[in-house]
Chains A and B, each alone.
Chain A
């Protein structure tokens, strides 16, 4: 199975420049992998004010469970929230914080 090379900071830079894509083939593979992390480990984006404010949360394990919010992470730009999700999931997948 494909594994992310944590030294590929060029892919991180490419994503941060253009989070919504389209991406290079290599970055597309990375994005796919980060989107396939186990559900219970996924950090997701939650819109708190329509079109204006977002935060991050941990996906609850079961239906009906409350969201676990990252209260200290508040974004007024959606792409900034996406970059943070990418950063956190990259670290979860590789053990290395891409910064």
Chain B
């Protein structure tokens, strides 16, 4: 049903930058491109708030369409070397932890050239057994197999030795799984019958077999699901005993002079570099973001931090649905004009009766501002959610979301095209959790007119409100904050968050906290914010990494022993579990989640304090706040936050209002409870509520929080004339007034 999709080389740009736009059509041979400024992206006709503004752009026009192919699957590539192509007798080995041995042929270590039948391929065969393929260079091949399937999710030392003198190849798999399980160890020796042709011009691939992308660039086929550790190549045929000794040897090149390569995946974790520890330096790179900093075959459990015991974290976990950069060819480049105002923009692509928005964010030139208010687009969170498919992969998806699975056309496309990759909410095809999500691919659910209304589409209710109220704003993004820290925020009188700023890197957290400490003002107009620590990488820009350690609202489990992130070595998980809770940053933190019914706010004692008078100007003492809105008819809903003074809510925080009217299916989150009990839901549990809060800071700043993802969906009600809108306007008008706030008397 999808006929056109695309993505851009960046999400955050400024005047003078170049933005590459990549487009693929699926059927149509022409498409039209234009530029729009996104004002409110929610196009639900029952709500009638959608607004975009066409903007003249140099690239606008009609283009030829063609399909651009995406190939997922992570692997390692090592450039072709005469040390490999010139081999006579040799041994190739690796520790192998297959997670889908049943899925068919998968490459383990291979420079196989299928066209000429030359090189070698250490692989898992169609029966799930370790196998070695050799060819005569003229089309004839021989394949030695152990004939015994490898055990799923168990380590094996897989070795293959070609003995030129004997004309034989020996393949073996040594099981080192739990001692109470049947061994899957096996070996077999086969007469080759010809002199193998080793002159493959293909690179040496790990976790795949060499292939060519339809666009002509190198690629991989037969990609492997599972972990590899300590791949080694030796220039002689080792006996099974010698091969086993080599496999256990941490530095074989120090003792075995025939070692050609001894790759050590524990080196250069956090980068794409694959290091050869041998003197030959057959280094390479990892492609498509396999998971590094994972437990090796020798993991003892005595250490949980890969940096403290890198020798036990020498494995890489590869997945056939890993994807970093789709690497489509650009269709056109947009030079961001000097006079383009800051805002949320999209390249609108139209092919026949289908359309697609490539959304991006234009900030002012570095070091300048054009408004006193900055809208901080939650691009780290948008990335984390990109291409989420959890609800239709997970048995409990419907009862979690309180809905009947309803797939949008773009989601149908994702179901039918798993090569477009997953979100950090999903599990890989082998059942392991997804840790990386990239924006360098077409991403659904991040743009105007997307359903469900989430990410920037919900946040754009705030943009529409800015426009309706004539509040000037700049747009900046999480990636900018990550790179530039407090310097990005400091020029602004106030920062307004989106509805769901869930994922924060440490530099983002530090930047925001410092801004507030120095007198900045923040309006946190959402819920479930500042929850998970994530990481970004200079080496691999455009990606967030996430390790869902310990507890929290986890849509997938995290692998024990792998709670430390690859990109920076930080411990992952909830900020709350790190001793730095969101309550200490913004006054509130997540307490409950529910999607069937939304609640409304009623004023609390704090709202009648003189310090809060400016917030409630025009609001009646008994006025119910937000008993309307896009999200199930209320301003308090989906994911909601409340104060917790023990977790760090500043003691002078005013609780202005709290929500009521939540259903039994709006339940306390796992991080709030030690055990499940019979009063989890909002119909009985008093902790299920959103708190609206306000506090001043000693530096003259202030923080206003609403603690609800549903809040922005209430802003447009009645033509943006309602008490949710009024409260926000009262707050923002005061926040852009440079008169310092004063702390209350102790």
Q: Chain A: residues with CB nearer than 8 A to chain B?
A: 21-22, 25, 28, 32, 35-36, 38-39, 42, 44-48, 50-51, 54, 57, 59-60, 63-67, 78, 82, 85-86
The answer on a CB contact under 8 Å between A21 and B399 is no
Give the complex CA separation of A22 and B321 in angstroms.
Answer: 38
Kindly report which residue of chain A lies nearest to residue B403, judged by CB atoms: A35
CB atoms of B398 and A60 under 8 A apart: no
Give A46 Cβ to nearest chain B Cβ, in Å.
5
Q: Is the CB of A22 within 8 A of B596?
A: yes
* A35-B399, A39-B395 as given contacts; A67 in contact with B404, CB under 8 Å: no
Q: Do residues A22 and B404 form an inter-chain contact, with CB atoms below 8 A? A: no
A sample of 17 cross-chain residue pairs with beta-carbon separation below 8 angstroms, ordered by A number, consists of A21-B596, A22-B597, A28-B664, A36-B399, A46-B407, A47-B406, A47-B407, A47-B409, A48-B1, A50-B408, A50-B451, A63-B321, A63-B393, A63-B418, A63-B429, A64-B418, A82-B404
Question: Which residues from A are CB-within-8-Å of B664?
Answer: 25, 28
How many whole Å from A20's CB to the nearest CB in chain B? 8
Residue of B nearest to A67 (CB): B412
Chain B positions within 8 Å of A, measured between CB atoms, are 1, 43-45, 321, 392-393, 395-396, 398-399, 402, 404-409, 412, 415-418, 429, 449, 451, 596-597, 663-665
Asked if residues A60 and B597 are in contact (CB atoms below 8 Å), the reply is no
B398 touches A51 (CB 8 A): no
Contact in complex: A67, B409 (CB < 8 Å): no
Q: Quick one: closest A residue to B429, CB to CB?
A: A63
Q: Which chain B positions have C-beta within 8 A of A46? A: 406-407, 412
Q: How far is the CA of A73 from the CA of B665 in the complex (A)?
A: 31
Complex: A32 Cα to B404 Cα, angstroms: 10
Please name all residues of chain A whose beta carbon is closer than 8 Å to the beta carbon of B451 when the two chains form the complex: 47, 50
**A50 and B416 contact, Cβ closer than 8 Å, known pairs A22-B597, A35-B404:** no
Cα–Cα, bound, A45→B408 (Å)? 9
In the bound complex, how far is the Cα of B415 from the Cα of A47, in angstroms? 14
* Contacting residues, chain A, for B45 (C-beta < 8 A): 51
With a CB–CB cut-off of 8 A, which chain B residues contact A82? 404
Report the minimum CB–CB distance from A33 to chain B (whole Å). 9
* Whole-angstrom distance between the Cβ of A30 and the nearest chain B Cβ: 12
In the complex, the answer to whether A44 meets B406 with C-beta atoms within 8 Å is yes
In the complex, residue of chain A having the shortest beta-carbon distance to the beta carbon of B45: A51
Contacts of B597 in A (CB 8 A): 21-22
Interface centre among A35, A36, A82 (most CB of B within 10 A): A35
Minimum CB distance partner of B355 in chain A: A50
A45 interface neighbour in B43, B395, B404, B596, Cβ under 8 Å: B404
Question: A22 vs B407: C-alpha distance in the bound complex, in angstroms?
Answer: 22
Residues of B within 8 A of A65 (CB): 415-416
B392: nearest chain-A partner, CB-CB: A59
Name which of B398, B449, B451 has the most chain A CB atoms within 10 A of its CB. Answer: B398
In whole angstroms, what is the CA distance A67 to B417 when docked?
12
B398 touches A36 (CB 8 A): yes
On chain B, the residues within 8 Å of A54 by CB distance are 406
Chain A residues contacting B665 (CB-CB under 8 Å) are 28
Pairs A-B, 8 closest by C-beta atoms: A35-B398, A44-B405, A45-B406, A63-B418, A35-B399, A64-B418, A46-B407, A47-B408
Q: Let me know if B392 and A44 touch, CB within 8 A.
A: yes
> Measured between C-beta atoms, what is the minimum distance from A54 to chain B in Å?
8
In the complex with contacts A21-B596, A35-B399, A47-B451, A60-B415 CB distance below 8 A: yes
Bound-complex Cα distance A36 to B401 (A): 12
Q: Which residue of A lies closest to B428 (CB)?
A: A63
Closest to A39 in B: B395
Q: Which residue of B lies closest to A78 (CB)?
A: B406
Min CB gap A17→B, angstroms: 16
In Å, the complex CA distance between A39 and B395 comes to 6
Shortest Cβ gap from B681 to chain A (Å):
11
CB distance from A65 to the nearest CB of B (A): 7
Bound Cα distance A86, B429 (Å):
29
Distance (whole angstroms) from the CB of A38 to the closest CB of chain B: 8
Which of A28, A38, A44, A60 contacts B404, CB < 8 Å?
Answer: A44
Residues of A close to B404: CB separation below 8 A: 35, 44-45, 82, 85-86
A98 smallest CB distance to B (angstroms): 16
Q: Are B416 and A42 in contact (CB under 8 A)?
A: no
B597 vs chain A, min Cβ distance (A): 5
Query: How distant is the Cα of A42 from the Cα of B662 in the complex, in angstroms?
Result: 29
Specify which chain A residues have a CB less than 8 angstroms from the CB of B1 in the assembled complex.
48
In the complex the two chains form, what is the Cα distance from A7 to B664 in whole Å? 26
- Within 8 Å CB of B408, what residues of A? 47, 50
Compute how far the CA of A31 lies from the CA of B193 in the bound complex, rounded to whole angstroms: 65
**With A51-B44, A64-B416, A67-B407 already in contact, 9 other A-B pairs whose C-beta atoms are closer than 8 Å:** A28-B665, A36-B398, A44-B404, A44-B405, A45-B406, A50-B43, A60-B415, A67-B416, A82-B404
Q: What separation, in Å, do the CA atoms of A57 and B398 have in the docked complex?
A: 16
Give chain A nearest CB distance to B635 CB in angstroms.
17
